């Protein structure tokens, strides 16, 4: 049965289903469509599906033209109808894996997806999990749910693999097709099937020995980043006390051609990976009674950065004879990184909440996010609309939290009363108004 699947993949006759049409799933739909596979994108959000079905992209860095070209091929569609899973040969699951309020992995989306698709599964399909998670999830959670809600047996009637997403939205140098793809499966044939599938859309595949290794690879990548970002965040605080510009230090250190890799400080960690992934491993490590002091310390440093920024803002206001209470503060950028419309886990909201709790009047501007969408952790900001930069001078202080390229920073500095810059966005601009944080 699996040999037939492998041959269908090689002939590009296999129908691919992608579940979850977000920043990971939608690019996969586009790539499989371009490669010539029949492909269906599944999502529970009818509004999202309707927009895509009309050829309209809802993700800023993915042009609507790409969606229109996909649909024009005639063998692709978007749907909320999970009964169509029965027509799929390959099913890729790209759903969120957040943390709950206790920083415990939340498997709700994986479990609910498994329960939605299992009644419609048939023999001979391969299911590949792409969601970031802890080692053991593919077989311990996904396979268990699929088996318990169907009459099929994993590894015999249907096949499993894990391939961690490596998306970096709006990165001009790397895309889904050019980023090497790690693939893990627990049998040679399952690995061969998954590898053949991804070979059709990416420039390089990296097969590993099993699903747990692939799951751990994703955690390794982002824990590496988290720890190093924590290091430069701590260095920023230390060097600031010494009157040394950490950005200049990093730039100088980066000239060393070996043994150094630059990481950059910020107001905290945002996005769907780095703030979350380390805690997946620390949670799983408790099962093995292994301490994760280094990882947890990095997490503590990064989580503390919003407080550092708020203190810098308060001191800047004090220097002009004002307190945070009653001050008008303009935040520039609520996206988690520059030039994207993605505000998942953005520390901007935490900083805004902390300032509001001090009695400040908070407004924001973000060219990519004109209105705050649904937020589990910050319901008070949901529906809040961004303001124009026309009246920037009416605010007591301007705080740069996301360094969007669209901003004219020299103009912002000229028209602001005080600027707190957490991203070194005002580098090269000489003004006593600028305070680095």
**Active site (annotated) includes residue 94:** no
Write phi, then psi, for 299 (nearest 5 degrees).
-60, -40
Domain boundaries, the chain: 2-209, 225-436
Angle at 281 (CA atoms; ends 343, 97), nearest 5 degrees: 40
Write down the pTM of the prediction: 0.91
Distance CA 185, CA 189 (A): 9
Query: In this predicted structure, which of 176-180, 279-283, 408-412 has the lowest mean pLDDT?
Result: 279-283
Q: Is the pLDDT of residue 147 over 90?
A: yes
| pLDDT attached to residue 268 | 86
Alpha carbons within 13 A on the beta-carbon side of 6: 13
The CATH superfamily assigned to 2-209 is: NAD(P)-binding Rossmann-like Domain (3.40.50.720)
Per DSSP, the three-state class of 302 is: helix
Distance CA 141, CA 106 (A): 12
For residues 203-228, average pLDDT = 96
Higher pLDDT pick, 12 / 377: 12
| pLDDT attached to residue 75 | 86
Give 166's strand partners: none
Angle at 197 (CA atoms; ends 191, 200), nearest 5 degrees: 135
CATH for 225-436 is 3.40.50.720
| pLDDT attached to residue 172 | 82
Average pLDDT, the chain: 94
Q: Is the pLDDT of residue 69 over 70?
A: yes
Q: Which residue has the tokens 């509001």?
A: 356
Query: In this predicted structure, which of 29-38, 127-136, 291-300, 358-367 has the lowest mean pLDDT?
Result: 291-300
| pLDDT attached to residue 100 | 78
Q: Is the pLDDT of residue 272 over 70?
A: no
Query: In this predicted structure, which of 123-137, 162-176, 327-341 has the lowest mean pLDDT?
Result: 162-176
Joined tokens for residue 314: 């308060």
For residues 197-219, average pLDDT = 97
| pLDDT attached to residue 425 | 97
Q: Is the pLDDT of residue 163 over 70?
A: yes
| pLDDT attached to residue 130 | 97
Distance CA 130, CA 181 (A): 11
Joined tokens for residue 288: 């093995």
| pLDDT attached to residue 415 | 97
Binned at pLDDT 50, 70 and 90, residue 363 comes out as: very high
| pLDDT attached to residue 270 | 75
Strand order in the sheet with 397-400: 361-365, 328-332, 397-400, 419-421, 434-436
What percent of the chain is predicted at pLDDT more than 90?
85
Give 399's strand partners: 331, 420
- The tens digit of pLDDT for each residue in 95-117 reads 999 887 777 889 999 999 999 99
Joined tokens for residue 148: 């318990």
For residues 112-126, average pLDDT = 96
Could you say which of 90, 94, 273, 426 is catalytic? 273
- The tens digit of pLDDT for each residue in 427-437 reads 999 999 999 99
For residues 187-191, average pLDDT = 97
Distance CA 405, CA 402 (A): 9
- The tens digit of pLDDT for each residue in 309-341 reads 999 999 999 999 999 999 999 999 999 999 999
| pLDDT attached to residue 271 | 66
Q: Do 225-436 and 2-209 fall under one CATH topology?
A: yes
């Amino acid at each position: 049965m699996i040999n037939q699947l492998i041959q269908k993949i090689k002939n590009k006759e296999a129908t691919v289903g992608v579940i979850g049409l977000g920043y990971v799933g939608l690019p996969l739909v586009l790539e499989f469509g371009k490669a010539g596979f029949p492909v269906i994108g599944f999502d529970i959000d009818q509004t999202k599906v309707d927009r895509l079905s009309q050829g309209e992209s809802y993700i800023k860095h993915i042009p609507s033209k790409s969606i229109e070209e996909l649909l024009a091929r005639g063998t692709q569609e978007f749907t909320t109808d999970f009964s169509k899973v029965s027509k799929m040969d390959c099913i890729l699951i790209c759903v969120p894996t957040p943390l709950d309020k206790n920083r415990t992995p939340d498997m709700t989306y994986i479990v609910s997806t498994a329960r939605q698709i299992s009644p419609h599964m048939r023999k001979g399909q391969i299911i590949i999990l792409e969601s970031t998670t802890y080692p053991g999830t593919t077989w311990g959670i996904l396979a268990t749910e699929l088996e318990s809600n169907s009459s099929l047996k994993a590894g015999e009637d249907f096949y499993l693999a894990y391939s961690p997403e490596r998306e970096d939205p709006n990165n001009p140098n790397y895309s889904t097709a050019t980023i090497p793809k790690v693939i893990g499966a627990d049998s040679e044939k399952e690995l061969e099937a998954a590898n053949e599938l991804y070979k059709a859309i990416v420039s390089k595949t990296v097969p590993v020995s099993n699903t747990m290794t692939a799951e751990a690879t994703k955690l390794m990548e982002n824990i590496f980043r988290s720890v190093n970002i924590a290091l430069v965040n701590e260095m920023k605080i230390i060097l600031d006390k010494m009157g040394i510009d950490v950005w200049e230090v990093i730039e100088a250190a980066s000239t060393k051609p070996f043994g150094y890799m630059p990481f950059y400080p910020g107001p905290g960690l945002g996005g769907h990976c780095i703030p979350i992934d380390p805690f997946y491993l620390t949670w799983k490590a408790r099962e093995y009674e292994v301490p994760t002091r280094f990882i947890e310390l990095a997490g503590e440093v990064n989580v503390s950065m919003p407080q550092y920024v708020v203190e810098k803002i308060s001191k800047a206001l004090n220097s002009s004879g004002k307190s945070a209470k009653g001050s008008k503060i303009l935040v520039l950028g609520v996206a988690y990184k520059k030039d994207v419309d993605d505000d998942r886990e953005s520390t901007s909201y935490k900083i805004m909440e902390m300032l509001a709790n001090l009695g400040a009047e908070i407004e924001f501007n973000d060219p990519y996010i004109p209105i705050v969408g649904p937020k589990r952790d910050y319901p008070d900001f949901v529906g809040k609309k961004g303001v124009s930069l026309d009246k920037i001078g009416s605010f007591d202080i301007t705080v740069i939290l996301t360094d969007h390229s669209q901003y004219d920073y020299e103009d912002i500095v000229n028209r602001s009363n005080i600027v707190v810059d957490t991203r070194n966005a005002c580098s090269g601009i000489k003004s006593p108004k600028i305070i680095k944080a």
